[in-house]
Chains A and B, each alone.
Chain A
Amino acid sequence: MRVGIVGIGQTKFGKLSDSSSRELVADAFKEALSDAGLARKDISTLIVCSGSHYDKQRSPAGIMAEYVGLNPTPTFHVEAACASSGVGVRVGSSMVQAGLHDVVAVVGFQKMTELDAAEVQDVMSRSGDVMWESPFGPTMPAYYAMHARAHMNRYGTTEEQFALVSVKNHKYGAKNPYAMFQKELTVEDVLKSRVVASPLKLYDCCANADGAACIILAGGEKARKITDSPVWITGLGLASSPMSLTSRNEFASFECSVQAVKQAYKMAKVTPRDIDVAEVHDSFSSAEIINYEDLGFCRKGEGGKFIADGQTYIGGKIPVNVDGGLLAKGHPVGATGASHIISIVRQLRNEAGPNQVPKAKVGLAHNIGGIGMYAVCTVLTAK
């Protein structure tokens, strides 16, 4: 039985100072119910996803299910850092397929802007191996910067090519009403922004944000009964890489992405050429270039040239992150994976407005967790 996405809902991403995390979750959940034409009683389980290191609320599924009025419906929490809700959709999909639940809601959220600087710093400094790496003060940008540097050294990729990714994503983000930054940038703006962890500068990095995103899943006939236009999950992939850099063998690539996308392409019986539109994890501009190669959009080492040639713009070989990506949308960790998938669903339903890729039928959502230790890939198909 195929599993279909029958409802989507997402809040705006950004500094949403007037809302708590439960309120954001309720907004996204309500919008997804309304999009699917369902009522709360139709939901047979609620999967709540977040990067729990940012949550003040312990075990957040408890309060979320209560707040949206779903008790005694089953609920539980899924955590895979930035890939939490990408993994949540995989879990929900398998529950539908197993026949345990017929309609599953997956909601990802994060409330990041209310943490004070010290709290954010503390979380950030423990994003890698706490025994052997955190004592040296690494940060998320530093880890990605070390991969970026390795890619530059091996393939001659330039800081200007990294900047081009940010320019592209901000161009599309400027037209996405859900994005945190709705303003275009120039290459010069990026290159002149302050260095965070060399070679990455401020505009090479995504921003912490608040937000929530919800996806409702149903299987086969049930999905068709709910909507005329379900978007089908035709490929799933999930893989891991070592968390410690000392245990990795490859730095110009995220090996978990290579493994996860291979599984997803195989299950969907597609190749990278069949993908009409993709959302890839651009927490840093350099990561998007590495992702092009890891996901098979271009050959190893040619990612820099691929963006320089404009191949990931609408009209290029494969439009990537044409909703603005994390660089323009912001990165509310737990909501990000579901948001990637929602953007692809909008494309496949022909509802992406000014950022619509013409005749998009097959899409790929790729979501990395943490410093590259989890990768989850989802192939979505319109028919």
Chain B
Amino acid sequence: MEESECTPFALCLLQNDFAFRGLEQLGFERFGWVSYASQTRISKFVDYLQEGKIYGTKCKECGCVQFPPRAHCVRCLSSSFEWKELAGDCVLITYTKVEAAPSMFKEQAPYLLGLAELPEGPKVFAWIDKTVPEDRINIGMKLKLNPTKLANGNLCYALTLPNATSLDKRQV
């Protein structure tokens, strides 16, 4: 169809479609097995993952460290932030093993979801990596948040045993 044949509304749809096909610089669609968001002010987070690093944000006004990263401070709503690398040491708060998974996660199922607390205060929601022996999983155990590269080429992070090295070189 020639552009001149489009109604203004159809034209608008076409333009959106181009945007979603990656003609604009987006970024966040590279995060996770399935990403529902592509455009955000903190997409640099994914670049850091690519480098094998976990970064949070730090508010320039009040110093509050946040993870997952936020463009607005959770405490004072300031939108002035800088990036701060996190060591990734954490402690497991709770977990579950998902047996009945959404269809797009069928390949991974069953998988363990964990919620862990970082020493800087914030928490992280992530897969507990399959290298962590299931019989050792308990609330209060020490874990480490490590960057990962997924089989679909996307970047992610997972909770591993504390002594595990960065997973960014291998696929999970």
Chain A residues, CB < 8 A from B105: 125, 137
CB under 8 Å from chain B, chain A span 120-166: 121-122, 124-126, 129-139, 141-142, 145-147, 149-150, 153
16 contacts between A and B (CB under 8 A): A121-B102, A122-B103, A126-B36, A136-B113, A137-B34, A137-B98, A137-B104, A137-B108, A138-B113, A141-B100, A146-B96, A146-B113, A196-B99, A200-B96, A244-B125, A247-B123
Give the docked Cα–Cα distance between A145 and B126 (Å): 15
A155 CB to closest chain B CB (Å) equals 12
B73 CB to closest chain A CB (Å) equals 13
Chain B residues, CB < 8 A from A145: 96
| Known contacts A125-B34, A138-B125, then 7 further A-B pairs from the complex at CB < 8 Å, ordered by chain A residue | A125-B104, A136-B125, A146-B94, A146-B96, A149-B95, A153-B94, A251-B93
B86-125 interface mask toward A, CB cutoff 8 Å, 1 = contact, 0 = none? 0000000111111111111100110101010000001111
Q: Does A34 contact B (CB under 8 A)?
A: no
A198 touches B97 (CB 8 A): yes
B102 touches A137 (CB 8 A): yes
A158 CB to closest chain B CB (Å) equals 15
Chain B residues, CB < 8 A from A70: none
Chain B residues, CB < 8 A from A141: 98, 100
Query: Nearest CB to that of B69 among chain A residues?
Result: A132
Contact of A131 among B28, B33, B97, B123 (CB under 8 A): B28
Q: Does A17 contact B (CB under 8 A)?
A: no
Q: Does B14 contact A (CB under 8 A)?
A: no
Give the docked Cα–Cα distance between A196 and B105 (Å): 14
A196 touches B100 (CB 8 A): yes
B47 CB to closest chain A CB (Å) equals 16
Q: Does A39 contact B (CB under 8 A)?
A: no
B127 CB to closest chain A CB (Å) equals 6
Q: A142-B96, A150-B93 are in contact. Are A137 and B33 (CB under 8 A)?
A: yes
B116 CB to closest chain A CB (Å) equals 9
Contact of B68 among A118, A131, A195 (CB under 8 A): A131
Contact of B139 among A137, A150, A200 (CB under 8 A): A150
Give the docked Cα–Cα distance between A149 and B122 (Å): 20
Contact of B98 among A122, A129, A142, A194 (CB under 8 A): A142
A135 touches B103 (CB 8 A): no
Give the docked Cα–Cα distance between A117 and B68 (Å): 31
B97 touches A195 (CB 8 A): yes
Nearest 4 CB-CB pairings of A with B: A135-B32, A137-B105, A125-B102, A145-B96
Q: Does B35 contact A (CB under 8 A)?
A: yes
Chain A residues, CB < 8 A from B28: 131
A-B contact count (CB 8 A): 111
A195 CB to closest chain B CB (Å) equals 5
Q: Does B31 contact A (CB under 8 A)?
A: yes
CB under 8 Å from chain A, chain B span 26-76: 28, 31-37, 40, 67-68, 74
Contact of A147 among B94, B100, B126 (CB under 8 A): B94
B103 touches A121 (CB 8 A): yes
Q: Does A352 contact B (CB under 8 A)?
A: no
Give the docked Cα–Cα distance between A129 and B32 (Å): 13
A245 touches B125 (CB 8 A): yes
B140 CB to closest chain A CB (Å) equals 8
Give the docked Cα–Cα distance between A146 and B112 (Å): 11
Give the docked Cα–Cα distance between A195 and B37 (Å): 31
Give the docked Cα–Cα distance between A133 and B68 (Å): 10
A139 touches B125 (CB 8 A): no
Q: A126-B36, A134-B36, A137-B105 are in contact. Are A195 and B94 (CB under 8 A)?
A: no
Q: Does B161 contact A (CB under 8 A)?
A: no
Give the docked Cα–Cα distance between A147 and B94 (Å): 7
Query: Nearest CB to that of B127 among chain A residues?
Result: A136
A247 CB to closest chain B CB (Å) equals 7
